[in-house]
Amino acid sequence: MIVKGKDQQDTTNARYGSVLIVGGDSVVGTNLVKTFRMKRANVITTTRRVDKLDKATVWLDLLDVNATEFPSLKFDTAILCAGLTSKQQCDQDPQQSYKTNVDGIMHVVAKLAAQRAHIIYLSTNEVFSGSDCFPTHKADVNPMSIYGKLKAECESKIRSITSNLTIVRFTKIIHPKFPLFVEWVCRIKKRETIQPYCDKYFAPIPLDYAVNVILRLTSMKFPGIVHVSASRDISYYEAGVVIAKTLSRDINLVIPHRSINDDKDIPNLAKTALDTTTLKEIGFSPCDPCDTIKAWALKYNTTVV
Ligand SMILES: NC(=O)c1ccc[n+]([C@@H]2O[C@H](COP(=O)([O-])OP(=O)(O)OC[C@H]3O[C@@H](n4cnc5c(N)ncnc54)[C@H](OP(=O)(O)O)[C@@H]3O)[C@@H](O)[C@H]2O)c1
């Protein structure tokens, strides 16, 4: 990944203490566990997959929290990654989503707050409506989607029970197997066209950058709200062109498409990029979205035959 300056990584001698990662199988959680362990931090994770249990991995189902036995260990920090993250799933079953993303998380937070753990709650730009440019961490939330509403409600409830808390709102995190881009690359390489939206926007950030921010927050125990966003929005069409160019393919294969025939899988937010004042306070500068896409394409191209 292209990262500018040494400020974009947490220092290897940072002190993390004992860390609980709730949702160790999530994309972000998996990479957090790997990175913390590389730095020899003391990490326990949770899973709802019985075949993955071991002495550092405890069972936790947000829909059955009473059955969970928390390890007797006291945690310095707990990072909350688990939850229903598909907007479509939240739309289809709002009750189940509420039980998971609000009730389940609050049960866990209550236990952790009682032992004075610092809590890092992973939230989203979807707590905003998308009508304002670069909302700050102090701006009022105004979610449009059910997923965003549950995240906003959970933020507010956690704040009411502990101040030992960082709320981190991410824009779109791009991981190495990001399915939309993988599909585009397959098609472009076969000289097939792709039709990304030219009127839907996102502010992509690399997964390893997101992980490094969380590591920094863990060592700093930063109190408050941090926005982790690219420096600006780009359209999905612009992203498609960057991928085609990076792979030295014909950019005419990328055909701009208007979102008249809606696709619910893509966030329907006019503006997604966030103000990053507090991100800068912890020593990170926001990434350029085109650099992120380019780095993704280069890396994907070298790892896939
Ligand atoms: N990825 C992004 O672009 C992005 C952007 C903004 C915010 N966030 C937030 O960052 C966090 C991590 O995102 P992610 O993309 O890494 O998530 P993810 O890959 O979709 O993983 C979600 C995890 O939650 C677990 N889960 C779902 N229901 C559960 C339940 N009832 N009990 C226990 N665990 C349950 C899943 O377990 P299984 O693996 O067993 O299914 C899965 O591991 C989420 O809170 C998300 O809202 C992510």
* pLDDT 10s digits, 210-267: 999 999 999 999 999 999 999 999 999 999 999 999 999 999 999 999 886 555 555 5
Which atom number of ligand 1 is nearest to the Cα of residue 175?
A: 1
pLDDT (0 to 100) of residue 65? 81
Residue 242 sits in a domain whose CATH number is: 3.40.50.720
pLDDT (0 to 100) of residue 5? 37
Residue 1 lies in a domain: no
pLDDT (0 to 100) of residue 158? 98
pLDDT (0 to 100) of residue 57? 94
The 3-state secondary structure of the chain, one letter per residue: CCCCCHHHCCCCCCCCCEEEEECCCCHHHHHHHHHHHHCCCEEEEEECCHHHCECCEEECCCCCHHHCCCCCCCCCEEEECCCCCCHHHHHHCHHHHHHHHHHHHHHHHHHHHHCCCEEEEEEEHHHCCCCCCCCCCCCCCCCCCHHHHHHHHHHHHHHHHCCCEEEEEECCEECCCCHHHHHHHHHHHCCCCECCECCCEECCEEHHHHHHHHHHHHHHCCCEEEEECCCCCEEHHHHHHHHHHHCCCCHHHECCECCCCCCCCCCCCCCCCCCCHHHHHCCCCCCCHHHHHHHHHHHHHHHCC
284 phi-psi bin (left φ>0, alpha ψ -120 to 50, beta other): beta
18-22/77-80 β-pairing: parallel
- CB–CB of 10/215 below 8 Å? yes
- CB–CB of 279/169 below 8 Å? no
Ligand 1: does its nearest atom lie under 6 Å from the Cβ of 100? Answer: yes
Residue 223 lies in a domain: yes
pLDDT (0 to 100) of residue 73? 78
Give the angle 169-170-173 at the CA atoms, nearest 5°.
Answer: 165
Which atom number of ligand 1 is nearest to the Cα of residue 61?
A: 32
Residue 82: what residue type?
A
Ligand 1: does its nearest atom lie under 6 Å from the Cβ of 26? Answer: yes
Q: Whose CA is nearest to atom 12 of ligand 1?
A: 81
For ligand 1, the distance from its centroid to the CA atom of residue 170, given in whole angstroms, is: 13
pLDDT (0 to 100) of residue 206? 98
Ligand 1: does its nearest atom lie under 6 Å from the Cβ of 81? Answer: yes
pLDDT (0 to 100) of residue 14? 66
Residue 41 lies in a domain: yes
Q: What is the mean pLDDT of each run of 10 residues along the chain (305 residues)?
A: 42 78 98 95 94 92 83 88 96 96 96 94 97 96 96 98 97 97 97 95 97 97 97 97 96 91 59 97 97 97 77
pLDDT (0 to 100) of residue 6? 40
pLDDT (0 to 100) of residue 69? 72
Residue 284 lies in a domain: yes
Ligand 1 mutation target, pool 85, 95, 173, 296, most atoms within 8 A of CB = 85
Residue 108 lies in a domain: yes
pLDDT (0 to 100) of residue 268? 56
pLDDT (0 to 100) of residue 266? 53
How many domains, the chain? 1
For ligand 1, the distance from its centroid to the CA atom of residue 92, given in whole angstroms, is: 17
For ligand 1, the distance from its centroid to the CA atom of residue 88, given in whole angstroms, is: 14
Residue 228 lies in a domain: yes
pLDDT (0 to 100) of residue 15? 87
Domain containing residue 212: 6-303
Structure tokens at 263: 């696709």
